[in-house]
Amino acid sequence: MTSCSALQRKQKQPNTSSSIPRLQVNLEHVFGFTSMSNSLISQDHSTVAYAAGRTVILFNKNTHKQDFIISTACKTITSLSLSPDGRYLATGEVNILVQIRKQIHSC
């Protein structure tokens, strides 16, 4: 298994070979979740937010679609909290880093 810092080093190296095409990869679906006592919250009646590693998944129960918030840190997201008005999501990670993510919207 490659460490997060090793992945970051690999990403920083420029592609010097013209024979290797540069591809953009988009996350389409996440299977699984990080099991923590407070890692599953209900945003509203149709959207559920939960953590899976370094990613927060916003799952719409009505449409079965997912939206993602991918952490730029290399630590696992272990807790989630929603603002009282339901517009902002805060995440806590394995270390003590807490981040306010973005305005939440339904998928």
Instruction: Read off the DSSP letter of residue 2.
Output: -
Segment 51-65 mean pLDDT: 88
Alpha helices by DSSP H, listed for the chain, are 4-12
For residue 40, tell me if it sits in a domain. yes
Segment 31-37 mean pLDDT: 67
Total domains, the chain: 1
Q: Contact, 56 vs 77, CB < 8 A?
A: yes
Q: pLDDT digit string (tens) for 17-33?
A: 567 778 887 877 777 76
For residue 16, tell me if it sits in a domain. no
Kindly tell me the burial class for residue 75, based on how many C-beta atoms sit within 10 Å of its own C-beta (0-12, 13-18, 19 or more).
Answer: middle
For residue 18, tell me if it sits in a domain. no
For residue 101, tell me if it sits in a domain. yes
CA distance 90 to 28: 23
Minimal CA–CA distance to 80: which of 97, 92, 62, 98? 92
Structural domain containing residue 102: 32-107
For residue 10, tell me if it sits in a domain. no
For residue 62, tell me if it sits in a domain. yes
| pLDDT value at residue 18 | 64
Q: How confident is the model at residue 63 (pLDDT cuts 50, 70, 90)?
A: very high
For residue 93, tell me if it sits in a domain. yes
